[in-house]
Structures are given as structure tokens and as C-alpha cells.
């Protein structure tokens, strides 16, 4: 049992993520969802349970958190680790080993279990989570979803009574989310206490027993799943929460009659390290089209997007812009990609400087106008790294607008975004589309696709499986591509 008694916490020099006077009891075996806007304090709450606060993150704490009657603040981290397992958001920075087997065993190795038991436990974990085919692999060669499974398995192997998951689905595709859901059901059936902090809610609706809504550091809602589902969507939107049922989502924009094509690919084939990844790609796209690029991991979405931007050179066939063949260099000049981890593409020391970074004769009024249109003007003198995830994305998009790029690509833009940021991003994409840009969005997020896209490009088996306009007739097919319904 976890008990919070009058707990308040604040980080030094930051108002975000503080907690105010929390009183909460989570009985054994309960599965709890923590939701709320970014910075509402849900991550902070998990950190108080796994001991990261106060032992890792310092700040001002009052009150006490009890784990089976013991005060957590008095326990050393490694003792807490035996009882509370934690899985985090970013699969790339969670592993300590290079090979999967050792990583799964990492926690129990630290507990100094005897060798035979280590082997037995790893085997048992692999069987129970159905990840035998991931054993004996190099972690660097795994996809994000597979890495996340290994992270989960590593904690699972330690058999903690409590499992904490902090935005575990952020970097996962649809099928990986389905498997995460299965794994959550499994640990729940084993009687473990499960606490999930998450923005994507739909996959948790038939798993959790209780939903806590946090707002500015206080718990302002404590719902059963039934009560939570009964909230109407308008109410949910004002709470800043994402959809609870994907089936109810419907596209907001239907495909307009075909605009004159500006981009054309003729019989393009792409290879990566001399192996063909995609072949026989022919498509046309017009100004203002917003195209979702979907497909499972390894289907070639990344190679495709890098080719569109001229970053990938192993490309055969014709790439035309306004009817003229384009060399990679020219493509690069014309296009911009907002990367999944946008941190890699922010270089300057302030938001204002970022907008004009690398441009020889920057158009300052345009930069200013763009910043204020995207709601970034108040942060002009802040460092880009101090912005939230959504703001960073908008900043990256702003730089592309200042450079006058005509083809834009977003790679998994909704990972880790809360509802408000997602809505803002959707609005931004509408605006860009209105400006006549050709936009591609690599995404798994059906809710987001419904809010932005007019066309779906589905890769599979080394080629384009489907190229569908978003229309009433195509809707069932689109839903099946996204595994919805």
C-alpha cells in the first residue's frame, strides 16, 4: 500500500511539476492512471514513489510517503528498487548494457541473485512477455518499441510489487502499444500495483481501475473508468486530455479535389547500405496537401523521409518539382524535417537567434512575425532548451518558415505531447498547409491524423501498399491500417 500524507514538493527554480498537499492512498493491486497537462505534477508523483525524489532530484519536500508503512524517504535507493520498478519514456537512454540478455538481467544482477536463478528468471521473463526473439540481440539494432519492451522486461524480471510507468507509449507505434497493453494486463493479473502516468489514454481504458486527474500540482479528480468514460468530450478537452476511444475519432478534413501536383516521384527505388528498402514508388502531391506516412517499424518510412529531404542519396528514379528533376542538393534547399528528437536541430543560444540561424541575410520582420504567430514571441530571449517539447517543435517549424522551405516533414511529432500541444501542432500544420506547403507526417497517431491529414500513404512489403485520400468511403480501410476499431 502506498500512502501520501500531506505531501508537497517543489523543484528549485521552477514552478512546473510541483505538488501541493497531496493526500492519497493506493491499495495493493490497484492499477492507477495519472493524467493531466504537461507540468501538472504527474511525473513528480511517480518520482516520490520510486525514491528519485528526494534522493536524485532535490527540492523542498514536506509530508511523508509511506510504502507498506515504511517512510520511503528513509530507505536507500537500492532497497526501494527491490519493491518499486520504474519504466521511463525514452527507450534510447534507459539501457545500461549493449546486449539484450544482460539488460534484462541487469536489475537482478545488482540484487546479487545466484547465477542459476539469473538464468531461470531471464528465461521465465522472456516466455511470459513473449520476447524470446529479442534475446541475444544487440540493443542498438532494436527499434524503439523493442527497446521499450526490453526496458519493461528488465524491471519485470526484478518482480517488484509496484510498477511505475512514466509515459511508456511516447515512442511506440500502434502495434507496440497493443503489446504494452497486454503486458500491463499481465502484471495487473499478477496482483501488482501499477501506476501509469500518460497522455495517450485510449489504450489504458480497459486496463486501469482508477483515474487520477492532476491540475497544477493537486489531485482534482478521482474517477472510476466508468465515470471517466462518461465525461463528455467537450469537458475532456477543457481538461486538456486526449481521447479515450479512438473509434469515436473522425477525420476533420476530407480530401479536397486534386490540386495541381507540384511534387512528383516517378518509379523511385531506395536502398540502404546496398539493400533495397523501397521500390516502385510513384506519387504526386500538390500544394497544401497533408500526407500521413504510415507503416510498421522497418517499412522504410525513415529512408523515405530522408530521401524527400535530399539527405539520403541511394535513390534511383525521378524526383520532380514543378516538372523539373531535382538533385539531392536542391531537395535539401527546398525541404525541412522536424525530427522526432527535435533537440538535435536547435543550435542557437536564444529562440530569436534560432529563427535566423545560418541565414546570411535574415528577414528579421518575417522571423518576428513567425514567432508571434506561433506563440513563441514571449520566449524570444529564452534558450531553446528551456522550452517545452511542443514549443521546441514549433520553433523548429518556425525556422523552416523563415527559410522559406516548401516541403515539410514531421517525424513522429506527437510523441510525448499532451492534448493542448497536439491541438496547437495540428493548428500549425493547417496554417502551413494554407500557405501552400507540401507536408508529410510520419506518424502512428490516429487521433492526430484525424485532426490534420487529407491523405494516407501506407508502406509495407517494400512498396506503397495503399495511397488513400481521406474520404468517407476510404474511412474503414484507413481505420484498419491504424488498427482502430
Partner 1 sequence: MNTLQLDPRTKLFLILLCVLCAMFSPSLLFQFVLVALIGLLAVVSGKWKYALRGVAAYALICLFTTWCMGVMTGTWRTMFVAFLGLLHKVYACGMLAGIVISTTKVGEFLSAMARLHFPKKLTIPIAVMLRYLPTIREDWHFIKDAMRLRDVSPSLLGFLKAPAMTVNCIYVPLLTAASKAADELSIASVTRGIENPKPRTCLVEIRMRKTDWLAIVFFTAFLALELIWKVVG
Partner 2 sequence: MNQQLTVKKGLAAKDLVSVGIFSALFLVFALVGGIFFAPNPVLTFYMPVGSALLCGPVYLLMLAKIQKRFVVSILGVILCIIWFVTGMHWAMALGYLVMGVVADLVAGIGKYKNKKINSLSYILISLGGTASYLVFFANPDGWAKTMLGNGTEQSYIDTMRSTGTVWIMVIMLVGTILAAAISALVGCKMLKKQFEKAGITK
Of the candidate spans 106-114, 197-205, 276-284, 462-470, the one that interacts with partner 1 by CB under 8 A turns out to be 106-114
Alpha-carbon gap, residue 48 to 172, rounded angstroms: 26
Alpha-carbon gap, residue 48 to 83, rounded angstroms: 14
- Residue 264, preceding peptide bond in cis (omega within 30° of 0): no
Out of partner 2, partner 1, none, what residue 383 binds, judged by CB under 5 to 8 A for its kind, is: partner 2
Burial bucket for residue 258 (CB in 10 Å: 0-12, 13-18, 19+):
exposed
79: Cβ contacts below 8 Å, ≥ 6 apart: none
Out of partner 1, partner 2, none, what residue 59 binds, judged by CB under 5 to 8 A for its kind, is: partner 2
The reply to whether 111 sits near partner 1 by the rule CB under 8 A is yes
Calculate the dihedral angle through the C-alpha atoms of 77, 78, 84, 85, rounding to the nearest 10 degrees. 110
Among 204, 135, 222, smallest CA distance to 168 is for 204
Q: Which of 36, 39, 85, 288 binds partner 1 (CB under 8 A)?
A: 85
The reply to whether 206 sits near partner 2 by the rule CB under 8 A is no
DSSP 8-state code for residue 300: S
Rank residues 267 and 386 by Cβ distance to partner 2 and give the closer one.
386
- Residue 30 in contact with residue 209, Cβ under 8 Å? yes
Alpha-carbon gap, residue 332 to 354, rounded angstroms: 19
Rank residues 271 and 350 by Cβ distance to partner 2 and give the closer one.
350
The reply to whether 151 sits near partner 1 by the rule CB under 8 A is yes
Of the candidate spans 127-135, 346-354, 420-428, 458-466, the one that interacts with partner 1 by CB under 8 A turns out to be 346-354
Query: Parallel, antiparallel, or unpaired: how do β-strands 210-215 and 218-223 relate?
Result: antiparallel
Calculate the dihedral angle through the C-alpha atoms of 340, 344, 345, 351, rounding to the nearest 10 degrees. 110
The reply to whether 327 sits near partner 1 by the rule CB under 8 A is no
* 121-150 binders of partner 1 (CB under 8 A): 122, 140
Q: Which of 23, 62, 372, 471 binds partner 2 (CB under 8 A)?
A: 62
Among 335, 471, 357, 354, smallest CA distance to 411 is for 335
Tell me the closest approach of the beta carbon of residue 72 to partner 1, in angstroms. Answer: 13
What does the angle CA 92 – CA 98 – CA 101 come to, to the nearest 5 degrees? 105
Tell me the closest approach of the beta carbon of residue 73 to partner 2, in angstroms. Answer: 8
Of the candidate spans 103-111, 126-134, 181-189, 263-271, the one that interacts with partner 1 by CB under 8 A turns out to be 103-111
Interaction pattern, residues 275-314, with partner 1; x per rule: CB under 8 A = -------------------------------x--xxx---
List of E strands, 105-242? 162-166, 193-197, 210-215, 218-223
Size of the site for partner 2 (CB under 8 A): 18
DSSP sequence for 208-220: -SEEEEEETTEEE
Quick one: cell of 337? 524535417
Out of partner 2, partner 1, none, what residue 95 binds, judged by CB under 5 to 8 A for its kind, is: partner 1
Tell me the closest approach of the beta carbon of residue 217 to partner 2, in angstroms. Answer: 17
The reply to whether 182 sits near partner 1 by the rule CB under 8 A is no
Q: Which of 154, 170, 193, 452 binds partner 1 (CB under 8 A)?
A: 154
* 37-56 binders of partner 1 (CB under 8 A): 50-52, 55-56
Residue holding cell 511534387? 263
Of the candidate spans 53-61, 276-284, 315-323, 439-447, the one that interacts with partner 2 by CB under 8 A turns out to be 53-61
Q: Kindly report the length of the chain.
A: 485
Alpha-carbon gap, residue 91 to 323, rounded angstroms: 42
Alpha-carbon gap, residue 97 to 93, rounded angstroms: 11
The reply to whether 92 sits near partner 1 by the rule CB under 8 A is yes
Interaction pattern, residues 347-386, with partner 2; x per rule: CB under 8 A = --xx-------------------------------xxxxx
Interacting residue ranges for partner 1, rule: CB under 8 A: 50-52, 55-56, 76-78, 80-82, 84-86, 88, 90, 92-99, 101-102, 105-107, 109-115, 118-119, 122, 140, 151, 154-155, 158, 306, 309-311, 332-333, 335-337, 339, 341, 343-348, 357-359, 385, 399, 403
Amino acid at each position: 500500500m502506498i500512502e501520501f500524507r500531506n505531501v508537497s514538493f517543489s523543484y528549485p527554480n521552477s514552478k512546473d511539476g510541483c505538488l501541493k498537499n497531496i493526500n492519497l492512498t493506493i491499495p495493493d493491486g490497484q492499477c492507477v492512471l495519472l493524467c493531466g497537462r504537461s507540468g501538472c505534477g504527474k511525473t513528480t508523483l511517480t518520482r516520490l514513489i520510486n525514491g528519485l525524489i528526494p534522493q536524485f532530484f532535490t527540492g523542498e519536500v514536506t509530508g511523508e510517503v509511506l510504502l507498506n508503512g515504511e517512510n520511503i524517504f528513509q530507505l536507500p535507493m537500492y532497497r526501494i528498487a527491490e519493491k518499486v520498478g520504474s519504466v521511463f519514456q525514452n527507450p534510447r537512454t534507459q539501457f545500461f548494457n549493449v546486449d539484450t540478455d544482460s539488460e534484462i538481467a541487469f536489475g537482478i544482477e545488482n540484487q546479487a541473485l545466484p547465477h542459476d536463478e539469473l538464468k531461470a528468471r531471464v528465461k521465465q521473463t522472456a516466455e511470459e512477455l513473449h520476447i524470446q526473439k529479442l534475446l541475444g540481440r544487440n540493443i542498438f539494432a532494436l527499434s524503439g518499441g523493442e527497446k521499450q519492451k526490453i526496458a519493461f522486461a528488465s524491471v519485470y524480471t526484478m518482480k517488484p510489487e509496484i510498477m511505475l510507468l512514466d509515459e511508456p507509449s511516447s515512442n511506440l507505434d500502434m502495434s507496440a502499444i497493443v503489446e504494452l497493453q497486454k503486458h500491463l494486463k499481465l502484471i495487473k493479473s499478477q496482483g501488482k500495483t501499477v501506476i501509469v502516468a500518460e497522455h495517450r489514454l485510449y489504450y489504458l481504458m480497459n486496463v486501469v481501475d482508477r483515474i487520477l486527474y492532476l491540475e497544477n500540482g493537486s489531485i482534482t479528480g478521482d474517477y472510476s473508468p466508468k465515470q471517466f468514460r462518461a465525461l463528455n468530450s467537450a469537458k475532456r478537452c477543457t481538461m486538456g486530455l486526449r481521447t479515450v476511444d479512438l473509434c469515436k475519432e473522425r477525420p476533420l478534413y476530407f480530401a479536397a479535389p486534386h490540386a495541381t501536383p507540384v511534387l512528383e516521384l516517378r518509379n523511385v527505388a531506395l536502398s540502404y547500405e546496398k539493400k533495397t528498402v523501397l521500390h516502385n514508388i510513384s506519387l504526386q502531391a500538390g500544394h497544401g496537401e497533408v500526407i500521413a506516412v504510415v507503416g510498421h517499424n522497418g517499412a522504410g518510412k525513415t529512408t523515405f523521409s530522408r530521401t524527400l529531404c535530399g539527405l539520403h542519396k541511394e535513390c534511383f528514379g525521378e524526383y520532380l518539382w514543378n516538372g523539373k528533376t531535382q538533385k539531392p542538393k536542391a531537395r535539401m534547399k527546398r525541404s525541412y524535417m522536424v525530427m522526432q528528437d527535435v533537440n538535435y536541430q536547435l543550435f542557437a543560444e536564444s529562440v530569436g537567434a534560432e529563427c535566423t540561424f545560418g541565414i546570411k541575410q535574415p528577414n528579421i520582420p518575417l522571423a518576428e512575425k513567425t514567432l508571434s504567430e506561433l506563440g513563441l514571441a514571449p520566449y524570444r530571449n529564452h534558450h531553446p532548451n528551456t522550452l517545452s517539447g511542443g514549443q521546441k517543435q514549433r520553433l523548429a517549424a518556425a525556422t523552416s518558415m523563415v527559410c522559406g522551405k516548401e516541403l515539410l516533414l514531421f517525424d513522429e511529432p506527437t510523441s510525448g505531447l499532451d492534448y493542448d500541444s497536439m491541438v496547437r501542432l495540428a493548428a500549425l500544420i493547417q496554417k502551413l498547409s494554407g500557405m501552400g506547403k507540401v507536408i508529410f507526417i510520419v506518424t502512428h497517431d490516429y487521433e492526430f491524423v484525424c485532426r490534420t491529414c487529407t491523405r494516407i500513404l501506407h508502406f509495407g512489403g517494400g512498396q506503397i501498399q495503399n495511397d488513400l485520400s481521406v474520404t468517407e468511403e476510404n474511412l474503414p480501410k484507413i481505420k484498419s491500417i491504424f488498427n482502430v476499431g
